[in-house]
């Protein structure tokens, strides 16, 4: 599959993922005003289902990384065996994911008639950052586990279910994705995050990704061969 086609799939997929996250967050605010728990339930349910669908649709094209941490993990583990993306390919993937994420946020704002404004929601507390480490580590470990055990066909429901659950068991509501984090800066709604919180969040996600790779290496020493 040509690189430009795979990059388009990553841009489209990440954009639609952020549109689902932000759009369902706006809808939840409008449908359930004053009930934060119900809003989070609606937001997490829509995100989990939407992510599963996107993986099914785009997985055959690009692998449906939709996440720079996943792309970097694939590059890192595939360097020795030549099974992962090359560094240039990984760069194209990450650029496409970030551009798509920003576009998805703007699209969701437009669909709901919400002004596209920079978010003022500060999320960079110690607990939130720890939550991002846990959420991202779990996501990377899950993906590598499925690869190592030959169950890639379960990626869509498994990843969708994990992300939906991680909304609830992590204090940060599981961004677990640097591109999505950047995209959510451009909406001052339920799903938004302030620009000041982005760098700490991304750093925590990279740490979590590295931890996930390390855990996968301990549990499944041959994971790199299939990454």
When pLDDT is averaged across residues 88-98 and rounded to a whole number, the result is 96
Tell me how far CA of residue 134 lies from CA of 51, 82, 90, in angstroms: 19, 29, 24
Lowest mean pLDDT among 20-29, 55-64, 80-89, 156-165: 80-89
Domain of residue 73, residue span: 3-226
Dist. CA 199–CA 211, nearest whole Å: 18
Tell me how far CA of residue 96 lies from CA of 11, 120, 195, in angstroms: 5, 25, 20
pTM score = 0.94
Question: Would you say residue 82 has pLDDT above 80?
Answer: no
What was the pLDDT predicted at 144?
Answer: 95
Question: Would you say residue 208 has pLDDT above 70?
Answer: yes
Higher pLDDT, 80 or 94: 94
Specify the CATH number for the domain of residue 214: 1.20.1080.10
Dist. CA 97–CA 164, nearest whole Å: 20
Average pLDDT, the chain: 94
- The tally of domains found in the chain comes to 1
pLDDT digits (tens, 9 = 90+) for 177-203: 999 999 999 999 999 999 999 999 999
Rg (CA), the chain: 16
DSSP letter string over 151-173? -GGGHHHHHHHHHHHHHHHSTT-
Q: Contact 76/84 with Cβ under 8 angstroms?
A: yes
Helices (runs of H) and strands (runs of E) counted in the chain:
9, 0
pLDDT digits (tens, 9 = 90+) for 1-47: 799 999 999 999 999 999 999 999 999 999 999 999 999 999 999 99
What was the pLDDT predicted at 87?
Answer: 87
Cβ neighbourhood burial of 95 (10 Å; 0-12, 13-18, 19+): middle
The pLDDT confidence band at residue 145, using thresholds 50, 70 and 90, is very high
The pLDDT confidence band at residue 225, using thresholds 50, 70 and 90, is low
Question: Would you say residue 224 has pLDDT above 80?
Answer: no
Question: Would you say residue 79 has pLDDT above 80?
Answer: no
């Amino acid at each position: 599959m040509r690189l430009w086609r795979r990059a388009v799939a990553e841009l489209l997929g990440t954009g639609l993922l952020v549109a689902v996250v932000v759009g369902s967050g706006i809808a939840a605010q409008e449908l359930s005003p004053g009930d934060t728990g119900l809003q989070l339930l609606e937001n997490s349910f829509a995100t989990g289902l939407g992510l599963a669908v996107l993986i099914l649709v785009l997985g055959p094209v690009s692998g449906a990384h939709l996440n720079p941490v996943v792309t970097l993990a694939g590059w890192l583990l595939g360097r020795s065996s030549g099974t992962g993306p090359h560094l240039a390919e990984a760069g194209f993937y990450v650029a496409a994911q970030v551009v798509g994420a920003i576009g998805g946020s703007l699209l969701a704002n437009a669909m709901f008639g919400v002004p596209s404004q920079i978010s003022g929601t500060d999320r960079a507390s110690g607990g939130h950052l720890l939550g991002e480490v846990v959420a991202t580590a779990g996501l990377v470990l899950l993906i590598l586990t499925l690869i190592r055990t030959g169950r890639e066909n379960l990626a869509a429901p498994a990843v969708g279910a994990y992300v939906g659950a991680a909304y609830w068991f992590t204090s940060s509501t599981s961004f677990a994705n640097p591109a999505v984090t950047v995209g959510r800066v451009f909406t001052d709604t339920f799903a938004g995050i302030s620009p000041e919180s982005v760098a700490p969040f991304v750093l925590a996600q990279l740490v979590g990704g590295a931890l996930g790779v390390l855990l996968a290496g301990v549990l499944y020493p041959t994971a790199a061969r299939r990454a």
